[in-house]
Chains A and B, each alone.
Chain A
Amino acid sequence: MEFISAIISGLSMGGTYAMIALGYTMVYGIAKMLNFAHGDVIMVGAYMLFVAIVSAKLPVWVGIMIAILVCTIFGIVIERLAYKPLRGASPLAVLITAIGVSFLLQALAQIVFGSEQKNVSALMINGSLKLGEVSIDYSTLVTLAVAAVIMVALTLFVKLTKVGRAMLAVSEDRDAARLMGVDVNFVIMITFIIGSALAGVAGVFKLMKSPAVTPTLGAMPGIKAFTAAVIGGIGSIPGAMVGGVLLGIVEAICLKTPIAAYTDAIEFAILIIILLVKPSGLLGKKRREKV
C-alpha cells in the first residue's frame, strides 16, 4: 500500500519534471544547446504569479496568463541577447554563457524580490480523489492531465505544421535546412518561445504543490529535469514525459526509504549511469558522429 502511495506522490512530482523536461528537450533537440537558464525561467514565472496574484490581486487565470507571457518574453530576450550572438561558436562558449544567464536571473530575482521566501497560496488545489484505500490529490491529476495534453499537442505541432516540420529539419541538419530555405533563426526563436512558455506552465505546477517562491526555486528542479530528459532520450517529446514521470517515481520511492538523505545523489547517479550505458535514453534516436 505504501508503495502505491509512493508511486502516486511520484506521479505528482513527475508531472512537473515532465513539464520542465519537455522544454529542455525541445530546446536541446533543435538549438543543440543545454539551456541552463531554463530552470530559472520557471522561477521568473513563479515570481510573476506572485506579483500578479498576491501583489496586484488579479484573478488566478489572469495571473497564469501573465506568468506564461512574461516567461515567453524572457525566453525571446535571452535567446536574442545571449545565445544568438554565439551561433556558430564553440559549444563550450554557449554552455558557459547559459550558466552565466542562469546566474544572472537568480541574482536579479534576489535583488528585486529579496531572498526571503514569498508565498502564493491561491494556486493550491486541496482535496483528493479517493479510490478505495488509494487517494490521489487533485493537483496530481491536473498536473498529469495538462502535461499529457501539452505533450500530445507538441507532438502534433511538430509533425503536422509547417513550422514544426522546419523544426525537425533544423534538428536533423541545420546547414541543410538553411539551404532548403528554412529560416533557422526564426525556427530557433519559436523553439525558445515554446520552451519558455512550458517553463511558465511548470512554474504554475510548482506553485500548485507548494506555495513557496525563492530565487533558487528553479535551479535544482531544472537540473533534475535534465536528468529526466536524458532518461527519456533527449530530443524526444514523449521521452521527456516518460523520463519525467519515472524520475518523479524514483524520487518518491527514495524519499520513503531509509536512504532518503541520499535522494539527490541517487538521482544524479542514475543520470551518470544512463549517460554511460545508453546515452540516447529510452526513446531517443541514436546519433551518428559525422567526420
Chain B
Amino acid sequence: MKDFLKNVKWKHYINYIAVAAFALIFGIIGLAGGLKGSTEYMLEKFAIAIILAVSLNVVVGFLGELSLGHAGFMCVGAYIGGKVASLLDKGADNIGVLLLAVMIGGSVAAVFGFIIGLPALRLRGDYLAIVTLAFGEIVRTIFMNTSSESFGGTLGLRTPRYDSSYLFIFGFILVLICLAVTQNMMRSKHGRAITAIRDNEIAARATGVNVTKYKLIAFTVSAFFAGVAGVLYSHSNYTVQSSVFDYNYSIEILVMVVLGGMGSINGSIIAATLITFLNLQLSTVLTGDLAVLKNLIYAVILVLIVIYNNAPALKHFRERYNLRALLDKIIKRKKDPSDQKDDEGAWDRVPTKIEMNELLSTDIIVTESVQDPDKGGKS
C-alpha cells in the first residue's frame, strides 16, 4: 500500500482532488443550507466555465487550431438540452431528466462538432478560424429565428430551473467527468497523436498518424463538452437566449484558455474560475459604459500573454523568468525527467518543430484523399 501511494503520480491527479474537494466543501455547506443563492449561482457558473475552457483547450491548445465558434456548440447544447428537459419535466427536480438532457444536448453538439471538423481536414489556421466563427453565427441566427413554439425565437427558450444547491454539485460531477475524459485522452496514444498534428501536420502524417481521424476526434470531444456546458447553462438560467452565445462569448472562453496556458488543463481550470469570478464581481461594480472595461482587460490579456509566450525575441527572457521557474525556485523541486513527456504548459518549449523547408527542397503536393481511413493510424 505504501509503495502504491509512492508510485502514484500525484501531479496527474491533483486537479481531480482539488476540484472534488472544492465541490465537496461547498456541497456540504450547500446541503446544510448555508449558501446564499448568489454563491450557488456563481458555483454553477464556475462549473460551466471550467468545462468550456477545458474543452476548448482540446482544440486550441492540443490540436493547435483556433475555434471561434465554441459558444455556437454551447448554444446547440443549451437549446437542445433545455428543450428536452422542458418537454419531459414540468418543474420537479429529476436527476434522470437532467442526465438525459445532458446526454442528448452533448451528443447533438458533438454531431455539429463532427460536421465542423470536416472542413478542418482541408482548411487550417485562419480559414478554419473563420469557418468556426461563421458556424457560431449561423447557429445563433437560426435559433433566433425559430418559432416561439419550438425554441422560443427572439424571446428565448424557457427552461425548468433546478434546485440550485443540487445543480452545482451535478455541475462539478460533470467537470470531473470532463477532466477524466480529456486528461486521459491527452495522456494516451490518441492525445499524443493530436499534439503531433499540432506540432507538424505533415510530419505526423508521414509517421503514420491518421490525421483525419484525430482531428475529428478532437473537434467532436470538444463540441460534446461545450454542449454539456450549454445544458448546464440552460438549467442554471431560467431562459436560453441565442444573443448570449455570440462571438464575444467565444472570445471570453478563448481568453480563459490563453490565460491558463494553451495545452494546460490545470491552467484552464484556474483561469476559468478566476475570470468567471472577476466577471461576476465586476458586473456589479462596473455598470453602463464602464462595463466595457471588462473587454479591455480581456483584450490586454490576450495581446500581452500571447506576445510574451510566443515572441521569438523574448525567448531567453521567458525561459529565465516564468511562473514555472519561480515555483521551482520556491519549492526547490528536482527536475523530473518525465516532465519532458508531459504536455502541460510546455507546448512551445519542447523543441519539436523541425524546419522542414531547410531539410528538403522538393515540392510535394499534399492531397487529402491519399489516405485510406481504414488502414491509416494503425501502425
Is B122 in contact with A226, judged by CB distance below 8 angstroms?
Answer: no
Looking at the assembled complex, report how far the CB atom of A85 sits from the nearest CB atom of chain B, in whole angstroms: 4
Looking at the assembled complex, report how far the CB atom of A30 sits from the nearest CB atom of chain B, in whole angstroms: 14
B73-128 CB contacts (< 8 Å) to partner A:
119, 122-123, 125-127
Selected from A95, A290, A291, the residue in CB contact (under 8 A) with B126 is: A95
Is B303 in contact with A101, judged by CB distance below 8 angstroms?
Answer: yes
The chain A residue sitting closest to B312, CB to CB, is A88
Stretch of B8-16, B20-28, B219-227, B292-300 that contacts chain A: B292-300
Looking at the assembled complex, report how far the CB atom of A88 sits from the nearest CB atom of chain B, in whole angstroms: 5
Asked if B343 CB lies within 8 Å of chain A CBs, one says no
CA distance A279 to B130 in the complex (A): 12
Asked if B350 CB lies within 8 Å of chain A CBs, one says no
Tally chain A residues at the interface, Cβ within 8 Å. Answer: 51
A39-89 CB contacts (< 8 Å) to partner B:
82, 85-89
Selected from A87, A101, A264, A271, the residue in CB contact (under 8 A) with B130 is: A271
Is A104 in contact with B296, judged by CB distance below 8 angstroms?
Answer: yes
Is B202 in contact with A291, judged by CB distance below 8 angstroms?
Answer: yes
Selected from B65, B137, B303, B363, the residue in CB contact (under 8 A) with A264 is: B137
CB-CB under 8 A from A106, the residues of chain B are 292, 295
Asked if B217 CB lies within 8 Å of chain A CBs, one says no
Asked if A131 CB lies within 8 Å of chain B CBs, one says no
Asked if A130 CB lies within 8 Å of chain B CBs, one says no
Looking at the assembled complex, report how far the CB atom of A94 sits from the nearest CB atom of chain B, in whole angstroms: 8
Stretch of B33-41, B354-362, B369-377 that contacts chain A: B354-362
Looking at the assembled complex, report how far the CB atom of A75 sits from the nearest CB atom of chain B, in whole angstroms: 16
Taking beta carbons and an 8 Å cutoff, which residues of A are in contact with B?
A: 28, 33-34, 82, 85-93, 95-97, 99-104, 106-108, 110-111, 114-115, 175, 215, 219, 223, 226-227, 230, 261-262, 264-265, 268-269, 271-272, 275-276, 279, 288-291
Complex A-B: 19 CB contacts under 8 Å:
A89-B312, A93-B306, A93-B309, A97-B303, A100-B299, A103-B298, A103-B302, A106-B295, A107-B292, A107-B293, A110-B292, A111-B293, A223-B130, A265-B141, A271-B134, A275-B123, A275-B127, A291-B360, A291-B363
Instruction: List the 3 closest A-B pairs by CB distance, nearest first.
Output: A100-B302, A268-B134, A104-B299
